[in-house]
Chains A and B, each alone.
Chain A
Amino acid sequence: MKRLVLIFLLMASPLFAVQPDEVLEDPVLEQRARDLSTGLRCLVCRNESIDESNADLARDLRLLVRERLVAGDSDEEAIAFIVDRYGEYVLLKPTTSGSNVFLWLAGPIMLFIAAGVGWTFLRNRSKAHELGDNDALSDEEKEHLRQILED
């Protein structure tokens, strides 16, 4: 909770996220800028995109994105421009390059393994024959269980 307090102190600033004066005339460009903004991290905040953040730096980045779009950059070029300057830390959605492959493949691989284990278990279960009575409940326990269940 203390941590939370600190975080909120950091984002404390009377400004709002996207300001009216930032909004571009062209609605298509503006929509592209908004979409790009949600994927870029506000560097001084915690886990907030520049689209949501109130910080001054986020505003600068928002303006920068719009500047690049107005200058005719494609989405990819605008992102690359910002990543060049601020590092990949700015991307909220990590790339799939290098070691990040582990991150992206962790889920599918785990699903594959888990499904395999589950499948094997199910196969064994459906093939297993009913076990003998040797490791079932004793008569006394059966009586006890019967009482519980009937109650």
Chain B
Amino acid sequence: MITEFGHFALILAFFVAIVQSVVPLIGASKRWNGWMLFAEPAAITQFLLTAFSFGALVWAFTTSDFSLRIVVENSHSAKPMLYKISGTWGNHEGSMLLWVLIVTLFGAMAAFFGGGLPPTLKARVLAVQSSVAVAFFAFILFTSNPFDRLAIAPFDGRDLNPLLQDPGLAFHPPFLYLGYVGLSMAFSFAVAALIEGRVDAAWGRWVRPWTLAAWIFLTIGIALGSWWAYYELGWGGFWFWDPVENASFMPWLLAAALLHSAIVVEKRESLKSWTILLAIIAFGFSLIGTFIVRSGLLTSVHAFATDPERGIFILLILVVFIGGALTLFAARAQAMEAKGVFGMVSRESALIVNNVLLAVSCFVVFVGTMWPMVAEMAFDRKLSVGAPFFNAAFTPFMVLLGLVLPIGAMLPWKRGRLRRAVWSLRYIFGLALALALLVWAMQTGRSALGPAGVFLGSWITFGAIFDLWSRTGRNGNLKRLLRLPGADWGKAVAHTGLGVTIFAIAGLTAWEVEDIRVAQPNQPFDVGQFTLTLQDVRRVQGPNYFSTMADVLVERNGRPVTTLQPEKRDYPVARMPTTEAAIDYRFTRDLYVVIGDQQQDGGWVMRTYIKPFANWIWAGCLMMALGGVFSLCDRRFRVAAGARKTAPGGVPAE
């Protein structure tokens, strides 16, 4: 019964969304206050209805209601509770419901926190946001209904893909969607501003928190996914340049560009039309990402035919929204004349360089992702574009970005002098170079990758710290640091995070040690500075799997470090095996052990990796996200975003 209520609530939300996408727009153009004000309760109602609908689906999963088709296909009664819940979005229908839930959540948040917005802008933003929701409600209801019942309910379900039964991946999709969909807010603001025909500093200030939030979620979502790949797939790769990964990476790059260009709009009233365009394209890439993942277009051109209805529906959404927005942009862009005047060398120009590099690097990823399809369709060539291409074609842009970053961050607004900014960073440059040379001298291999990563990482990291330090004034007054706006702290922390991640990726790639062998029980062997002994291998039973678990004693200089227990699991219902690597996480390195099959002679295949600085990759991502949070907490946003004191002693909006 609850399932039917959920389905019904979803249909109701669809109708509310339709009305909400029309009425406030008319109200805003006719200046009818009542019609404009309709948007707020409608947005909140829409969210509550969708939340109820989603709750009903979660309920069906947690109670293992096998009369629902998607529960049968993605759940099993013996599955742990966490994965019953995460199974809700571990499938196409459920994840689309989560997607639209987040669309309405953002709409409701804009209605709730948007007290300071001009009434017409607010009405238009909510209407545009709601029209996005309409499209996805229709998509769910007409092509992928999660509330489909089965005439005959089976006794038990088919279980969720075991690889997805993992804490890291349980929370990966919600974060990713919060990011993807958060960009819809930037899109709504952009389209509303185009309809309104007016973009000013205040607009920049309103749109930035939403973009920031979306970017933070995307950062965390991507980091979770890559961390999951690292420990779950069994050989410690963390980024594969897979189309599905690229689908999340492209919006991330554009969101990062948008964050920076919105600063220029906010502070200097320049780059307006570019920022609007970027907001539209960023959300466009979110939709393209969804399209890529759902249609299966890129897995193989032919898989498109297996799901044509859904693929074409999303393509249609993409064309209508992005095409419509771009048409509007073409018609209205002239109205947005840049105001601020600035020199060739200034913070503004540095941010333009940032935008050029981020946008072009996103373009490279896009072309690389789509090329196999284009080549097959246009040139009749079946080819692959994989990691080696992206490493070669994408990395230079990031290196360039990293080199320019600390200098650009030091430049003053309006007019600066390049020589002065560069000269002030001379010690940082020296330090980074010295560290790189030291590493070059210490390492045994000849690879230049490690030292280059050390140089770039420390140049960015120490540059960011120096930037912060330079704010303490001549006497190094540390109290000043505490009084700095949150945005300045955010900048320093996020840039430091980028430096850490770049260093860690280079370090891990350059200095990884790998060992593959058949290990005999109780015969120690050496990998790097460690001695490993396979002590025992036994069978263990888990809640919904069987496991072959090994005990591996790790020693260093004769002293025991730890005992690792790599596993090989077999999920009988889903009928597939997984490897559970055992990882000894340490500050400067991970020891990564995987157990394989038993050999004829009684030994076991074992793969051992020493992965230096692996944790630093994700620590850097977390720092980037944390920097975003600092920036989001900046008092100036709250002031602008609606917490303006209307009456002394009033209740604050947050």
Residues of A within 8 A of B (CB): 1-5, 7-9, 12-21, 23, 38-39, 41, 46-49, 52, 87-94, 98-100, 103-104, 106-107, 110-111, 114-115, 118, 121-123, 125-126, 128-131, 135-137, 145, 147-148, 151
Contact = CB atoms under 8 A, between A and B. Distances in A.
B639 A148 contact: yes
B367 A107 contact: yes
B371 interface: yes
A91 B348 contact: no
B139 to A, nearest CB: 15
A29 B393 CA distance: 28
Contacts of B349: 122
Closest 3 CB pairs of A and B: A92-B386, A93-B388, A107-B364
A2 B383 CA distance: 25
B553 interface: no
Contacts of B576: 8-9, 12
B653 to A, nearest CB: 13
A31 to B, nearest CB: 11
A92 B353 CA distance: 31
Interface residues of B, number: 81
Given A125-B270, A129-B341, A151-B645, A107 B387 contact: no
Interface in B373-404: 375, 378-379, 381-389, 392-394, 397
A8 B163 contact: yes
A122 B202 CA distance: 23
A3 B296 contact: yes
A21 B516 CA distance: 10
A39 to B, nearest CB: 5
A111 B299 contact: no
28 contacts: A1-B173, A1-B293, A2-B91, A13-B577, A16-B605, A20-B517, A41-B386, A47-B240, A47-B242, A47-B384, A90-B384, A92-B384, A92-B388, A98-B379, A98-B381, A100-B381, A103-B371, A104-B393, A107-B361, A107-B367, A107-B394, A110-B363, A115-B356, A118-B355, A125-B338, A125-B340, A131-B339, A151-B639
B384 A99 contact: no
B332 interface: no
A125 B337 CA distance: 11
Given A8-B163, A89-B382, A151-B644, A122 B388 contact: no
Interface string B224-249: 00000000001101001111100000
Given A9-B161, A106-B364, 19 more contacts: A1-B95, A3-B244, A5-B91, A8-B576, A13-B577, A16-B596, A19-B516, A19-B605, A20-B517, A38-B387, A47-B240, A48-B240, A89-B384, A92-B386, A99-B378, A100-B381, A107-B397, A123-B344, A125-B341
Nearest to A150: B639
B299 A1 contact: no
Given A20-B518, A46-B242, A114 B356 contact: yes
A139 B577 CA distance: 70
Given A3-B293, A16-B234, A111 B356 contact: yes
B607 interface: yes
B383 A89 contact: yes
Given A94-B371, A125-B270, A99 B379 contact: yes
Nearest to A112: B360
B91 A93 contact: no
A89 B243 CA distance: 16
A99 B381 contact: yes
Interface in B158-173: 161, 163-164, 173
Contacts of A87: 382
B242 A52 contact: no
B597 A94 contact: no
Contacts of A129: 341
Question: Which interface residue of A20, A118, A130 has the most chain B CB atoms within 10 A?
Answer: A20
Nearest to B636: A149
B406 to A, nearest CB: 20
Nearest to B271: A121
Nearest to A136: B339
Nearest to B300: A46
Interface in B546-579: 568, 576-577, 579
A39 B338 CA distance: 47
B517 to A, nearest CB: 5
A103 B342 contact: no
B367 A103 contact: yes
Nearest to B639: A151
Nearest to B357: A111
B352 A118 contact: yes
